[in-house]
Amino acid sequence: MLILVVDDEPVSRRLMGATLRRHNFEVVELSSGKEAVDFLQGHGPATMIVSDVLMPEMDGFDMLRFLKSDPRFRKIPVILVTSLNDTESVMKGIELGAVDYVTKPIVGAMLIAKVEKIISPQRAKVLVVDSEQEMRDAMTNIVERIGFAVLDVSSGEEAMVMLRSNRVTAIISNSSLPGISGIELLRYVKRTHPGVPVIFVTGSREEYNARDLLRAGADGFITKPFHNVEVVRKLRDVTRQML
């Protein structure tokens, strides 16, 4: 899930960005409301915006007015960052469409609690990546039985798109994929979603063996033909700290 952190103060912006990344959110840091608007117009909607109120060029209030006037962006939830006891700004922000606020100095736990309350899914999601529909269906059946929701895609490129709009607890991917390779997908995930574990499904004829994948940063692997118990055990092992 992509969160824009908008603040002209570098220390505050980096603190919020680092806090969100530690909880597996993809973050883009921007220094003004205008930069946020330019980013949205060039890249499309984000999952959420956390924004300071007082900024040069375009402040948080003007950014909110822009978002609510554009059908593409009016549904993006915005959390405002205000000074302690700045009740007037909080009330004005809520009237303009902000969904919540946090006060400076930023408390990481409070920020995460507010973000999670707004966008966390009811069930943890597992992203299944495999070019074969039969394999995706089989894996989905196993994973859903132990309480996870499943998102399934057929390529690494589709997985990257899915990760931009969904927060996932883990990824189970075939090591051989059309288009970008399993290794390339793994590197992307570790760069943009470093807290999300990646499990690979491998076989004797796959492009990469288990040693290659583990060396590249994979969190585990399952060999074909796999058994239900093996999948359940491996998934629970890598997600135990997150459940």
For the stretch 202-242, pLDDT in tens is 876 666 677 788 888 999 989 888 888 889 888 888 876 45
- In the predicted model, is pLDDT for residue 98 greater than 70? yes
- Taken in order of first residue, the domains within the chain and their CATH numbers are 2-119 (3.40.50.2300), 125-239 (3.40.50.2300)
Closest CA to 169 of 20, 17, 19, 24: 24
- In the predicted model, is pLDDT for residue 159 greater than 80? yes
- Yes or no: say if 221 and 189 are a contact pair by the CB < 8 Å rule: no
Count of other CB atoms within 10 angstroms of residue 58 = 18
Tell me what pLDDT residue 243 has: 43
Pure H helices in 59-132: 60-69, 87-96, 108-119
- What percentage of the chain reaches a pLDDT higher than 70? 94
- Yes or no: say if 51 and 78 are a contact pair by the CB < 8 Å rule: yes
Tell me what pLDDT residue 73 has: 93
* Pairwise pLDDT comparison (211 vs 168), residue with the higher score: 168
